[in-house]
Amino acid sequence: MANNTTISSITAKPRTGKFNKNHARRVRREGLIPAVVYGAGEPSVAVAVDPKIITRILHSDSGHNSIFDLAIEGGATGKAMIVDWQNEPIKGHLLHIDLKRVAMDKKMRVSVPVQLVGTAAGVKNSGGILLHALHEVEIECLPGDIPSHIDADVSNLEMNQSLHVSDLPHSDKIEYLDEEDAVVASVTYVKAEVEPEAAAATETPTEPEVAKKGKQETAEGEAKPEAKK
């Protein structure tokens, strides 16, 4: 659940030594989590941060697109944002994060949520259902202009009509990188329910698929930063 609490700054503690699994465990026993800071043409720095603060940022209105002051003990202070994170698969605790330095005068690409606003006319008047097809859009803008979300007004959608990226609010501050004709939301008829016997007859048994999510730890227990755009 999002909240309005704004985290304006984070203090990070530099990490030294061999970055293996034992090192990562020691960091977590201290109540911190391993992190890596990179970007802006500067060398990567291994640090440790407070997972509670990171969690508050991820659960804020702007989420991982939040920009904050990152102060590294004994080092420089600059703007940064969370670009990737790794959770413990069972309890969901944060294990590792990647932080990227941000230049406030340079445009960057980010994905922001699309929030549907209003009640579609086709739903209200014709008994249709509203389908939310595109939950995020990719945009390019200056860091200070990143919105927490994009409002998509569906009030005028009649039956069998769609709302496209071209219909979203546009301004000279942000540029949409998705196709303009990409469908954001649409109104359609309610599908007829299939009789249980018919549904069972058409089902084809399949082997269960094991989904693998999140980043894999390296042999040293650190999550490698992925290549960023």
pLDDT at 228 over 80: no
Does any domain span residue 221? Answer: no
**Which residue, among 170, 166, 178, 120, has the nearest Cα to 147 in the 3D structure?**
170
Question: Among residues 78, 101, 124, which one ends one of the domains?
Answer: 101
Instruction: List all residues 6 or more positions away from 146 whose beta carbon is below 8 Å from its beta carbon.
Output: 62, 65, 67, 110, 112, 139
Q: How many domains does the chain have?
A: 2
Does any domain span residue 206? Answer: no
Does any domain span residue 84? Answer: yes
Most confident of 4-13, 40-49, 169-178: 169-178
pLDDT at 2 over 60: no
**Which residue, among 69, 151, 142, has the nearest Cα to 106 in the 3D structure?**
142
Q: Which residue has the higher pLDDT, 76 or 209?
A: 76
pLDDT at 126 over 50: yes
Place 191 in a pLDDT band, splitting at 50, 70 and 90.
low
Question: Among residues 101, 121, 140, which one ends one of the domains?
Answer: 101
Same domain for 67 and 114? Answer: no
CB 89 within 8 A of CB 159: no
Q: Tens digit of pLDDT for each residue in 147-171?
A: 999 999 999 999 999 999 999 999 9
pLDDT of residue 40: 85
pLDDT of residue 83: 93
pLDDT of residue 176: 97
Report the alpha-carbon distance of residue 186 to residue 100 in Å, rounded. 36
Q: Phi/psi at 134 (nearest 5 deg)? A: -115, 105
First to last CA, the chain: 29
Q: Phi/psi at 160 (nearest 5 deg)? A: 65, 20
Report the alpha-carbon distance of residue 144 to residue 141 in Å, rounded. 8
Does any domain span residue 47? Answer: yes
pLDDT at 198 over 60: no
| Residue 60 lies in domain | 9-101
Same domain for 53 and 130? Answer: no
Same domain for 114 and 144? Answer: yes
Same domain for 190 and 122? Answer: yes
CB 176 within 8 A of CB 182: no
The helix (run of H) or strand (run of E) holding residue 43 is strand 42-49
Same domain for 133 and 194? Answer: yes
